Amino acid sequence: MESEVDPKVLAVIEEERLSGPPLTPVEVLSKLGVLEARSKPFESAWLATGDSVVAAIWAEYVNVAANGQWYIVESLNAEVRADGRERNATQAQRAEFRLAQLKRAFEAGQGFRAVLQTNRLGIVEAESNRSAKISIRVRDDEEWHVASWSEELQLAVLVRGARGWQPTVDELKSARRSHALPGGAAADGDAAQGASAQDVDEAAKGYIIRHFSSYGYQAEDVSSQALGYDVEVKDKKGGLLLRVCVRGASVGVQTRKLSPQEQASAKGEKLWRLFVVADALTGAAKHKIYKADEVAQVLPDA
């Protein structure tokens, strides 16, 4: 809702809205070269002519840094809405398409065009409530870009304007708490304050044990035995499935590198896997799996 938009952002939207003839949400997209503007007016990302990316930016989610730079912290978890509830299959597919286009732009070092929009109701209603129509949609004349993309933290940072700037850790935490991103609601944010790498790893290990147990597997914590992995996973008959090294990932907490024992186990154990759990201290934890030869992608000095 407009009451949730930073005044500086709202001023830009109003200036753009009043600078020309009134346009419908479909017309705004059409003028940006989106061929599917009429058939898909309420998606969150589109491909325009020239294979360029156009993405919706909810003004309510825009943060304004002390230097005036605008940025958004975007969750890479396509399965969970901003309020923590699961998306249905259609909603998840739309979210995955948006993330795929943003990642493509990031990897190509390209920017993307944005449409700034506000909603008549809270944004969390936009995906499931048909009455939650767009209140205002305008073209943003400034280019946006993906400043960072972290599979480890399950976060991307979208920035408006000049490249080379990123929000600080405190700004990232503040954005997640204030906009209720997965793992960023106030209570969860408070739980993560002052957490150490060991705290995050312990929470991640508990999540992994619960995850495998929920599927009927036997998951045993063996971290005290210094075997080079933390959790041993067996099937219902006791057959060994995986030897899991666990790491938690949280904004502002340095993820630990592999110990010598873990490095040796990674090289010698065929069933060794690294599980990195983002937001382990919150109710929106999500994990990624890496083989031994993929560890260097996510852990320092691996």
d(CA 289, CA 120): 40
- The CATH number of 2-182 is 2.30.280
Strand-pair category, 272-278 with 286-290: antiparallel
Angstrom distance (rounded) from CA 142 to CA 62 = 14
Residue 233 is encoded by which pair of tokens? 């996973």
Output the pLDDT for position 241.
Answer: 95
Which element (helix H / strand E) includes 34? none
Residue ranges per structural domain of the chain: 2-182, 197-297
Write down the pTM of the prediction.
Answer: 0.70
pLDDT value, residue 83: 63
What's the pLDDT score for residue 133? 63
Are β-strands 112-119 and 70-75 bridged in parallel, bridged antiparallel, or unpaired?
unpaired
pLDDT tens-digit map of 210-260: 999 999 999 999 999 999 999 999 999 999 999 999 998 888 777 888 999
Owner of token pair 């007016």:
41
With a cut of 70, list the residues of the chain below it in pLDDT: 1-3, 82-84, 120-133, 177-195, 283, 300-302
CATH T-level topology, domain 197-297: Trna Endonuclease; Chain: A, domain 1 (3.40.1350)
